[in-house]
Structure 1
Amino acid sequence: MQALESIEDWDIRDYVRSTARKCGVNLDNLTKGEVVPFPRPLKGVYELSEAKIREYNRELAEVEEAQEQCRGCDGCSCQHKDKWKNLTVKADCWNDEVHLALNNCKFTQQKSREKKLKSLMEAAKIPEKYREDTWEDLTIQQGNMRAVALAKKAVQDGRSLYLWGKCGTGKTKLTSIIANERLKKGLPVLFVSLPELYSGIKANFDKGGSSCELLELVKKAECLILDDLGASNRTEWSVGILQELVDYRYANALQTIITSNNSMAELKSYLVIRDKQGKPMDEKQSARITSRLEEMCHTAKLDTPSFRQKQEENLR
């Protein structure tokens, strides 16, 4: 840059002085006749000495250019250099040094959230029929009002639920919506049909494998939805599996949501193992399971006309 004294036009001299100041160059500190490289003008204000602004001028200008590219980005194609691809960059200054802060850009974060949601959805095992359902897909009636209210609270505060009622009253649909709402928040959930769980454990035994891995996965799920409790034939083995599940989740205060056709009193009777003459063999195990469930869960009955029956009538 030509020394300021050699410029005769005062307007130009003021412009050069102002621009130089923005670039961290104090022309008053230059010796007469000194020629210095003119730094790129910076838009931001940085807590740096003039010497450091000159030293870091190129890096700061690159940062500002990258930030300008971010402002005009539509998420389709990142215009940054390879070192900053799909990142946001910010220059933080302290102790007269420049420190770059890099973070994933909003589009990268969104893609990451979508990938996580897809992964959670696949792991959740929600019935295909209900995977898109939301609260708006429910028909609120007198017979399901309490159950829906408790379901919404369960999404908010992680409470456990025992929902019961006749077939076709919407128990699986309601619990699927609970699962979907958790997934929207990025929270894991595992939806398991109890009869299918029993079959899966038995299949592992039949193949000579161990059921431990499958059972441990279900036991330790952050939020577990057990569908159709009481829909399979009870055996000493199946009731033992259920007790192991309930005991573990009770002891570890894990959210557990259960659907059944049976009230808690009916479930207590159903779980009693009987001999061939129908006499109870052991009532303590059944009482232990239902006692745990009563302490863990808020209970609600779904007492609405059967949706399935309505569909069948409409087809006639």
Structure 2
Amino acid sequence: MESLGEMLKSWPGGRSMSNQADQKLEELMADPLVERLFVKHPELNERAVRMNMNRVYQYVNEYRNCTNCPGLNNCPNDFEGHYTLLSCETVNDQVQLIDRKVSCKKFIARRSEEQIKNRIRSFYVDETALNNGYSADEILFNDPKRTEAAYQILAYIDKTKEEGLQKEGLYLAGKFGTGKTFLMCYLLHELAKAGYSGAIVYMPEFVEDLKSMMHDQAKLRETVEMMKETDLLIFDDIGAENLNPWVRDHVLGSILNYRMNRKPTLYTSNYELDALERHFSFTSKDGDEQYKGERLMNRVRPYVEVIMVTGENKRGRK
């Protein structure tokens, strides 16, 4: 019986094809990557390479593509963000080359970042702070006046990573534009990397949206349940909202009543705690209701560590 090589040579143009294959095999055998493959797998031989030239060529070509990576979005490999890896296996005294696709570092990093983002829900908050990523240096040294608060945030993150979710949350108080929301977004991002889910809610717009949800009970129930169950819940700019008794007593009260002693709730505010209690005690509908303000604060005050955030107003600065 004729060998495949002899059959190719006997066909019109077959000898040329065979010569091209021999030349390609010679080039592959001289490639440093293939030479390293022979060192790693001593059982590998030239016959196995010849029988698997397409696999070996793809292995070499994709390695070169990765070495000169043009970026994940312009990945030239067959499977974006993956490259071919070869290994050997001997079956019935025959060496077989086995190829498999492996994720590259850039693909793994992007997938990890997508998983992090999927753990965080944002309601009415500018997501730039969540999507751009952070560095500890940026958190600590952008504003020296804010450094002490930043260290407290970092300590809370480390404690949560070491011990698990804390029952106590944080209450960041300070003037406009000092970076309270920025610090909280950093906290969410870092703890999402550790596997925790979270939500950040901009209170003034959330409260206005709740009024329309009164007529969509399914959406209201879904929203409230999510805020009850998420690992970390941040109420951003609390105290700036225009409260009514229903929002205060039946929505906020319900969420905070469920979360206390279960999961941490965190806050940013321009008010310190006493001023926030006065805010909760007054609604546009019923006026001053000190008892109901105290009642809600009993679900806030005992469950937070207060951090004063000082520094310059960074809004509007270029």
What range describes the TM-score normalised by the shorter chain of this pair? 0.5 to 0.7
CA distance in 2, matches of 1:166, 1:79: 50
CA distance in 1, matches of 2:180, 2:114: 29
Per the TM alignment, residue 102 of structure 1 is displaced from its structure 2 partner at its CA by 2.0
% same residue: 18
Find 1:192's aligned residue among 163, 181, 201.
201
Question: What TM-score do you get using the length of structure 2 for normalisation?
Answer: 0.61
**Cα offsets for 1:180-228 (capped at 9, x unmatched):** 6667889765331112212222112246764112223333334332112
CA distance in 2, matches of 1:59, 1:182: 50
- 2:181–2:268 contact (8 Å) kept in structure 1: yes
**Cα offsets for 1:153-186 (capped at 9, x unmatched):** 3444446311113444443343345456667889
- 1:163–1:259 contact (8 Å) kept in structure 2: yes
Q: Please, which runs of 5 or more residues in structure 1 have no aligned partner?
A: 1-37
CA distance in 1, matches of 2:123, 2:287: 41
Q: Which residue type is aligned with residue 151 of structure 1?
A: I
- 2:121–2:199 contact (8 Å) kept in structure 1: no
Greater Cα radius of gyration, structure 1 or 2: 1
Q: Which residue type is aligned with residue 142 of structure 2?
A: L
Per the TM alignment, residue 283 of structure 1 is displaced from its structure 2 partner at its CA by 6.6
Q: Which residue type is aligned with residue 92 of structure 1?
A: S
Seen in structure 2, the aligned counterparts of structure 1 residues 91 and 250 have a Cα distance that, compared at 3 Å, is farther
Seen in structure 2, the aligned counterparts of structure 1 residues 221 and 60 have a Cα distance that, compared at 3 Å, is farther
**Corresponding residue of 2:229:** 220
CA distance in 2, matches of 1:65, 1:261: 63
- 2:84–2:99 contact (8 Å) kept in structure 1: yes
CA distance in 2, matches of 1:185, 1:68: 36
Matches within 5 A, 1:55-134: 56-58=48-50, 61-73=53-65, 74-76=68-70, 82=78, 86-93=81-88, 96=91, 99-109=98-108, 112=111, 123=122, 126-127=125-126, 134=138
CA distance in 2, matches of 1:95, 1:250: 61
Per the TM alignment, residue 300 of structure 1 is displaced from its structure 2 partner at its CA by 0.9
Find 1:148's aligned residue among 147, 150, 156.
150
Q: Which residue type is aligned with residue 298 of structure 1?
A: E
Seen in structure 2, the aligned counterparts of structure 1 residues 238 and 212 have a Cα distance that, compared at 3 Å, is same
Q: Which residue type is aligned with residue 229 of structure 1?
A: I
CA distance in 1, matches of 2:247, 2:159: 30
CA-based RMSD of the aligned residues comes to 4.4
Matches within 5 A, 1:1-316: 41=29, 43=35, 44-45=37-38, 56-58=48-50, 61-73=53-65, 74-76=68-70, 82=78, 86-93=81-88, 96=91, 99-109=98-108, 112=111, 123=122, 126-127=125-126, 134-135=138-139, 138-141=142-145, 144-158=146-160, 160-179=169-188, 189-206=198-215, 210-240=219-249, 241-253=251-263, 255-272=264-281, 278=288, 280-282=290-292, 285-290=295-300, 293-295=301-303, 297-304=304-311, 307=313
Q: Which residue type is aligned with residue 214 of structure 2?
A: F
- 2:171–2:305 contact (8 Å) kept in structure 1: yes
- 2:121–2:200 contact (8 Å) kept in structure 1: no
Q: Which residue type is aligned with residue 69 of structure 2?
A: G
- 2:175–2:310 contact (8 Å) kept in structure 1: yes
- 2:237–2:268 contact (8 Å) kept in structure 1: yes
CA distance in 2, matches of 1:59, 1:205: 69
Seen in structure 2, the aligned counterparts of structure 1 residues 136 and 166 have a Cα distance that, compared at 3 Å, is closer
CA distance in 2, matches of 1:217, 1:203: 18
Per the TM alignment, residue 121 of structure 1 is displaced from its structure 2 partner at its CA by 8.4
CA distance in 1, matches of 2:237, 2:276: 12
Aligned to 2:207, the other structure's residue is in SS state helix
- 1:201–1:214 contact (8 Å) kept in structure 2: no
